[in-house]
Structure formats: structure tokens, C-alpha cells
Amino acid sequence: MTAAALPFAGNIRRVRSEADERRAMAAEVRAGLLSRPMPSLPSKYFYDERGGALFDEITRLPEYYLTRAEEALLPGVAREVAARVRPRHLLELGSGAGGKVRMLLGAMASEGTLESCTLLDVSEAVIADSLSRLRVEHPGLRTAGIVGDFLTDLAAAEVAESRLIAFLGSTVGNIHPRDTPAFFRSAAAALAPPAAMLLGLDLVKDRARLEAAYDDARGVTAEFNLNILRVMNARLGADFDASAFEHVAFYDADEAWIEMRLRARRAMVVRVPGAEAELTLAEGGEIRTEISCKYTRPALEALLRGTGLEIERWWTDPESLFALALLRRTSG
Ligand code: SAH
Ligand code: AVI
């Protein structure tokens, strides 16, 4: 089915029908479980209702500095971006339940340019929730939601000119570096000048601080990690026993990423009928569930090379924990 042929639920549009989405999920999960040397699961499947709530809890943990650092930067950056770019349309990718989009909308409204806001996320519930709150705050605002994947579905958002794409929270870090250039190319194609993209990036820093952010004392991140197994059980009929896995998170300095894994406490065979897959794990066997890349400005510049986007402005907090980068289309 094409995007245009699919029904609107309110003004939330699915890029794929539920049946097509289920088929895509089955194929992705199957490919991940078959990959070697280590099986993996795609991190976008953390975010069912419980996963979204656990992520929200993570953003408030003392160890998880990312959200606080970005939210401290955003009001000033939002004002500057609104004045510099004068965007009429905001498109937020991986919007989640967060309030960050409201800071951007507030700044665009103050400039008098704000016309519409579109949220794109894999989770329809999260979009519906956010949009209803935005409509209360900005009664005249045109709002829309797109249930889709930011890696493949950016073209589903129709207006390209005078647009600001916001991709915050360092969610770009959850994209494997081999796929990041293709993602930036599709973002460039979705931006007609003078449009721009505001990108949130977690920065390389000392190992202890990074690892604490992904292995908090209260074990919320561990619950978040294990939740992906519950999603597999609920959506693909898998028989993962979540209590037989432990949470693993470590910083790989060579790759400049945090890696999250689930380690089997005992040998087991897991059936995943919805993905026509079976996974055999030895005791101590691991499944990779997420990478979370950490950046430097030169590393981002290298990833952007040849994609049609370049850094126009770069802001960081006084401790250089987190950065916001304004990306524009390169000329030519
Ligand atoms: N932007 C928010 C939320 C980050 S959590 C913040 O900065 O705090 C990551 C969000 O991205 C979740 O809402 C999740 O559902 C969404 N997401 C993850 N992978 C995605 C993908 N491939 N395509 C679209 N949305 C995705
Ligand atoms: C959404 N994303 C940027 C989070 C991150 O930090 O990579 C997801 C997360 N994983 C563990 N904690 C939070």
C-alpha cells in the first residue's frame, strides 16, 4: 500500500498498514536474531507503552545527564534557530512524549512564523498523546502525526520548504554509523533551502560517566532493556523468559558507542514464531539490543561528508556533555 492510500486516524497517518508493519517487524527481528557473531534486536522495538514510560523515567534519573543537558541548552538555541531560520513548519523525528518540541514551537510562535507541527515516531500512542497536548497550547496550530520509521520514511512528510527538522535527545546515536550517512542524505532530500535540521548529540566523555548513564543504580535502564523481550513475546509470540537475562551496558571506546546487551543466565532455546526464528543461547550468551553513539564535532563532520548537509552552528553546555548542531544543505 502507498502512504497516500492509508487511512488517517484523526490526523495521524500510518506509512505502512498494521499488516505490512508486522511483516517488516518479522523480517527485521529474524535478520537480527540470525546475525553473527552476535544476535541482535532492533532498538526501535523498546518503545511499546511500557518502554516509553521507562524511557521517560530514565530521562529523570540522576545518572542520565543527557536530557537535562539538552533541555538546559534548548531555550536559548530555540530562540536563535527560530530567528535565524524563520521556519514555518516543524517536523520532529522520534518525538517521544517529551516537552522539547514545545520549546521549539514557543520560539517559532514568538517569531510569528509558526504554522504547523508534524511528529514522526514508530509509536502511534506517543504521537496521539503529544499532539493532543500541543493543540491545547497552540489552538491555531496545524498538527499531524506520521507513524513510521525515520530511517526509511522521511519522504512521507509532505511540506519540504521552510521546515525545521528536529532530531533531539541523541536518538541519532541509536543509528549504526554505517547507516547514518544514508539517513542524513534522506534528511537533506526532505529539506528545501532555507530549511534546516536541529540535531541533539551526546558527546564523548569519560567512561565512568557514560557507563553510569546506561547502568543506573535503581535498575530502570535494566528494566528498559529487558522490556524489548516482553515486546517480542507480545507482538511475535516469542517465549523469552525475561528473568533469565541480565542487563549489560559498556562503553566501547574504539567505536565511540555505548553498547547494551542482554546476557542469558542459563542455556536456552527461544522460539519466536512470528519471525519464524529460533534462538539457541549458551549460558552467558548475549543479544545486542542497542548502540548509542557518542560524538565529537570532527566525527559528525566526517559522517556528514558527501550527504548534502553541513554544520552551520554548534552549541554545547559548559561541561561539554551534550551538543546541539544546526545543519543546513550544502550549496551545490
Ligand atoms: N525525542 C525524545 C524521545 C527520545 S526516545 C527525547 O529527546 O527525549 C526515542 C524515540 O524515538 C521514541 O519515542 C521511539 O518510539 C522513537 N524511535 C526509535 N526508533 C525509531 C525509528 N527507527 N523510527 C521512528 N521513531 C523511532
Ligand atoms: C533514545 N536514545 C537516545 C536513548 C540513548 O541514550 O541512547 C535510549 C536509551 N537507552 C538506554 N538509555 C536510554
- pLDDT per position as a tens digit, 302-320: 999 999 999 999 999 999 9
Instruction: Output 261-265 pairs: Cβ under 8 A, ≥24 positions apart.
Output: 261/38, 261/286, 261/287, 261/288, 261/289, 262/225, 262/226, 262/228, 262/229, 262/286, 262/287, 262/289
* Mean of pLDDT values over 81-88: 96
* Mean of pLDDT values over 147-165: 89
DSSP letter assigned to residue 212: H
Judged by DSSP in three states, 299 sits in: helix
Q: Is the CB of 39 under 6 A from ligand 1?
A: no
Ligand closest to CA 213:
2
Residue range 189-218, pLDDT digits in tens = 988 877 899 999 999 999 999 999 999 999
Q: Is the CB of 169 under 6 A from ligand 1?
A: yes
Q: Is the CB of 52 under 6 A from ligand 2?
A: no
What's residue 195's pLDDT?
86
Q: CA 4, 6, 8: angle at the middle one, nearest 5? A: 100
* Selected residue with higher pLDDT from 2 and 220: 220
If one residue of 214, 248, 288 were mutated to test the ligand 2 pocket, choosing by the most ligand atoms within 8 A of its CB, it would be: 214
Distance 110 CA to ligand 2 centre (A): 31
What's residue 4's pLDDT?
41
What's residue 69's pLDDT?
98
Q: Which atom of ligand 1 lies nearest, measured to the CA of 153?
A: 23
Ligand closest to CA 212:
2
Q: Is the pLDDT of residue 7 over 70?
A: no
Ligand closest to CA 171:
2
Q: How confident is the model at residue 161 (pLDDT cuts 50, 70, 90)?
A: confident
Q: Going by CA atoms, what residue is nearest to atom 18 of ligand 1?
A: 44
Q: Is the CB of 63 under 6 A from ligand 2?
A: no
* Mean of pLDDT values over 92-115: 93
Q: How confident is the model at residue 159 (pLDDT cuts 50, 70, 90)?
A: low
Residue 316 grid cell? 554545547
Q: Is the CB of 96 under 6 A from ligand 2?
A: no
Residue 38 grid cell? 552476535
